[in-house]
């Protein structure tokens, strides 16, 4: 009889250990499957499919900080393009300046107001002067926020009888704002100022 009780107790111990083992393995498997499901969903969210000419092309989403240098430099480049690329047409000038002011604070508006009061834009129209800008480089320091930048480029002023080339060096700071259609990079230029803008050469046409 005692032998039977001992056998029952041993069997119970075996069943208990087996049950614990099954429960532990089940929980481990469930945890592993949950982790893999979460990881798969996270990877799926980083995939974007773009439809181009009837074909689905896969692209990958990335955090804004991953591309901060590229976006910041392009923001600075586009601001200077809009602000300094002007044709002898009042509507075109207003459109270009208006677009550039979406990318900056009041510091650029003050420069624009001063040039307008001095008759700079009126002279462009009356004298049929065309103005363009070529960017050489942009540096953006990410060590401190707002981010300090320096823009280096060449300004070309084309008149009927000559073409003047001026160097252009400006500086300012970049801070984050919400992205909009007019400001797709989500940056705003602050404290913008011109450090250098001297004539390099004048060529006759």
Q: What is the model's pLDDT at position 47?
A: 58
Average pLDDT, the chain: 85
Q: What is the model's pLDDT at position 67?
A: 83
Task: Check: CB of residue 174 under 8 Å from CB of residue 188.
Answer: yes
Query: How many domains does one find in the chain?
Result: 2
Residues 138 and 162 in one domain: yes
Residues 51 and 70 in one domain: no
Residues 126 and 73 in one domain: yes
Q: State pTM to two decimals.
A: 0.69
Mean local confidence (pLDDT), 97-106: 96
Residues 46 and 106 in one domain: no
What number of other Cβ atoms are within 10 A of residue 86's Cβ? 21
Residues 94 and 17 in one domain: no
Mean local confidence (pLDDT), 83-112: 96
Last residue of a domain, one of 21, 42, 60: 60
CA 153 to CA 137: how far, in whole Å?
7
Counting every residue, how long is the chain? 205
Mean local confidence (pLDDT), 55-68: 58
**Is residue 1's pLDDT more than 60?**
no
Q: What is the model's pLDDT at position 157?
A: 96
Structural domain boundaries, residue 92: 64-204
Task: Check: CB of residue 148 under 8 Å from CB of residue 190.
Answer: no
Which residues on neighbouring strands pair with residue 138, listed in sequence order?
151
**Is residue 200's pLDDT more than 70?**
yes
What number of other Cβ atoms are within 10 A of residue 195's Cβ? 12
Residues 98 and 56 in one domain: no
What number of other Cβ atoms are within 10 A of residue 80's Cβ? 22
pLDDT tens digits, residue range 150-197?
Answer: 999 999 999 999 999 999 999 999 999 999 999 999 999 999 999 999
């Amino acid at each position: 009889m005692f032998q039977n009780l001992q056998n029952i107790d041993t069997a119970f111990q075996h069943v208990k250990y087996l049950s614990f083992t099954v429960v532990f393995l089940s929980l481990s498997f469930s945890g592993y499957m949950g982790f893999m499901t979460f990881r798969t969903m996270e990877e799926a969210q980083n995939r974007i499919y773009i439809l181009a000419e009837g074909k689905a092309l896969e692209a990958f989403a990335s955090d804004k900080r991953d591309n901060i240098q590229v976006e910041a430099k392009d923001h600075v480049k586009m601001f200077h393009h809009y602000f300094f690329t002007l044709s002898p047409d009042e509507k075109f000038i207003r459109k270009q300046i208006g677009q550039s002011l979406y990318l900056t604070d009041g510091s650029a508006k003050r420069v624009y107001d001063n040039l307008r009061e001095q008759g700079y834009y009126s002279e462009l129209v009356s004298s049929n002067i065309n103005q363009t800008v070529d960017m050489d480089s942009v540096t953006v320091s990410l060590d401190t926020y707002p981010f300090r930048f320096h823009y280096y480029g060449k300004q070309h002023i084309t008149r009927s009888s000559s073409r003047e080339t001026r160097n252009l060096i400006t500086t300012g700071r970049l801070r984050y704002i919400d992205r909009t259609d007019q400001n797709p990079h989500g940056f705003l230029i602050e404290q913008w100022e011109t450090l250098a803008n001297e004539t390099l050469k004048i060529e006759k046409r």
